Structure 1
Amino acid sequence: MKTAVRTAARRRTLGVALTVLALGASAVACSKGDSEAGESPSMTPAAAVAEAAKNTEDITSLRYRMTGKVPEQGRVEAEASMSMKPMAMSMKMSALDAGADSGKVELRFVDGALYMGGGAAAAKEMDGKHWIKFGDLGKNAGSSGAGASGMEDQVKKNPAQESTFLTGSKDVKKVGTEKVDGVETTHYKGTVTLDEFRDSLKDEDKATREAREKSLQQYETMGIDKVTMDMWIDPDEHTKQFRMRGAADKGPLDMTVTFLDFNKPVTVRAPAAGDTVDLAETLRDAQEG
């Protein structure tokens, strides 16, 4: 019974982790310039946000820290590294409301496969092995998307799309200048409905429109129709920190992402095969048996 409870808790933690990944790896903006703390003197707040949104394709890798609350799941903390080419992700996450035994998890996405590690607590349930390899189970993962295909969909997303939401805001404003992790930044804030954001895409090219449309889907699934956004832009016009808040069907979303670096090498290695349970093989063996 205890094993079943712990396993169910870890599945819940994996769901939280994938939600965190979807939200966190979608909150970067980047543009170029040498002006003061993320704003040209001649730019209005809306123009500064639009300029950042226009230059979101330059990011090839990033590292970030995330804290906040996920609807239904509760409080989370995470730190992650992500590479877009090749696609790879490493994330260590704590679901603070899941309990000490099951709330900590490490995810790795590498070579098209998703791995989840739960440390010593997981090893007690898996004959001493610390990792589960999910493989290509997305088609069997149901609505949770908790398989490699679901993870790959998140990794393939350009990690800048949510920051472009502010381009649809009708009330974006400059709040002031603030230091974030010792870096001087310009703080912007605005509210935007998903319909307003979608309407703002009508003049974009097809590829941009499709990419940004995808970023809407996770919010629609959660039942969020309006978000409040804060963005802190550093002197190089990178987003140093980002906060998104909204009312979902199953509770509040309130996530803050702090970006630690951009475009630096990211290496993600698969866990040792001898320390890994291959879930696809286990299911296949069970079916054959």
Structure 2
Amino acid sequence: MRVKGTRTGAIVVSAVMGTVVLSGCGGDGESEAKGSDASQSASGSDGAREQGTTKVRAAYDKTAEAESARMAIRMKLSAEGKTITSDGKGAIDLAEGDSVMKVTAQGESIEQRVVDQVLYQKSPDQKAPGGKSWIKIDLKKVAAQQGLSNQQIGDPAQTAAYSKAITDKDVKKVGTEKIDGVNTTHYKVTVDVSKLPGGDRMSQQLGPTLPMQVWLDDEGRLRQQQIDMTLEAPASASAKPDNSASSNQLKMSTVMQFSDFGTEVDAEAPPAEQVTDMTGQALKDGNKQG
């Protein structure tokens, strides 16, 4: 596997994962009723586990009630012995998924906006093709190419599919921790990838399950969420027959934090005359890597 377009590629993944991860904890807050012949103590344990599942499923709805928040994203990509890191800070509209951020990747700072499922980026150090200030990538088209649904990319309020992919046995309470000075409860969550939209294709790259960790505050809102995943490249992506298995893997760790709920989010698309559409190039690069 080759890491191509590292600067933009890493940031695009951050933008996409932002909504995917946030959607992963949403739902209607309902847990499935289950019969049990276990002992009273086991039933108590099951009840606590089910309660944790209910809280995790309801986390996005609780968070969305605040309408907006400040957001920080830290991401690390590793492949072929190389590591790419990016850090982003900004604000997000929790209902619509629009956001404004400043992202630093490989020593460069980039202004980034997501508006109506379209990603816009501006680098102060270089012009986009055609001498324009901004580039844009249509995340809906990128999602379609990757076999993802629109709800995973641009509509974080639609989270029913993720809720169904999380069962009682997939949620474990780790303990209590402070995140940015706020008391939180830490849970480990396992998602059944096959139950997600586009799950068959996702399973080929991610495996059968997707591990997540979430930290919820006393109001049940997301304060931090982390995904550590390993993506498997197709065998044909390896140029050398003697490459080790690890050379066909891309490891990605994404940590998102939320604070200052209710903050103002001013996410507007740049003037059209200042924007170069790079969606076609992004799709072309995606085909090469896939």
Which TM class, normalised by the smaller chain length?
A: 0.5 to 0.7
The equivalent position to 1:65 in structure 2, one of 68, 72, 84, is 72
What SS does structure 1 have at the residue aligned with 2:126? Answer: helix
Q: 1:20 maps to what in 2?
A: 17
- Offset of residue 271 of structure 1: 2.7
The equivalent position to 2:100 in structure 1, one of 90, 94, 114, is 90
Q: 1:36 maps to what in 2?
A: none
Distance 1:231-1:118 versus aligned 2 partners, 3 A rule:
same
Runs of at least 5 residues in structure 2 that lack an aligned partner in the other structure: 30-45, 233-248, 282-290
Residue 242 of structure 2 is aligned to residue 239 of structure 1: no
RMSD of aligned Cα (Å): 4.3
- Offset of residue 217 of structure 1: 7.4
Over the matched positions of the two proteins, sequence identity in percent amounts to: 24
Cα distance in 1 for partners of 2:90, 2:161 equals 17
Distance 1:11-1:48 versus aligned 2 partners, 3 A rule:
closer
- Offset of residue 245 of structure 1: 2.2
Quick check: 2:53–2:168 contact (8 Å CA) kept in 1? no
Matches for 1:166-185 after TM superposition, within 5 Å: 167-168=166-167, 170=169, 172-185=171-184
Distance 1:20-1:104 versus aligned 2 partners, 3 A rule:
farther
- Offset of residue 121 of structure 1: 2.4
Cα distance in 1 for partners of 2:96, 2:211 equals 33
Pick which of 175-184 and 79-88 moved more: 79-88
Matched letter for residue 143 of structure 1? Q
Cα distance in 2 for partners of 1:31, 1:234 equals 18
Structure-1-length-normalised TM-score:
0.62
The equivalent position to 1:46 in structure 2, one of 25, 28, 50, is 50
Structure-2-length-normalised TM-score:
0.62
- Offset of residue 154 of structure 1: 1.2
Matches for 1:184-223 after TM superposition, within 5 Å: 184-195=183-194, 198=195, 213-214=196-197, 219-220=202-203, 222-223=205-206
Quick check: 1:31–1:238 contact (8 Å CA) kept in 2? no
Matches for 1:61-140 after TM superposition, within 5 Å: 61-70=68-77, 72=79, 74-83=84-93, 88-96=98-106, 100=107, 103-110=108-115, 113-122=118-127, 126-127=130-131, 129-134=132-137
Matched letter for residue 277 of structure 1? V
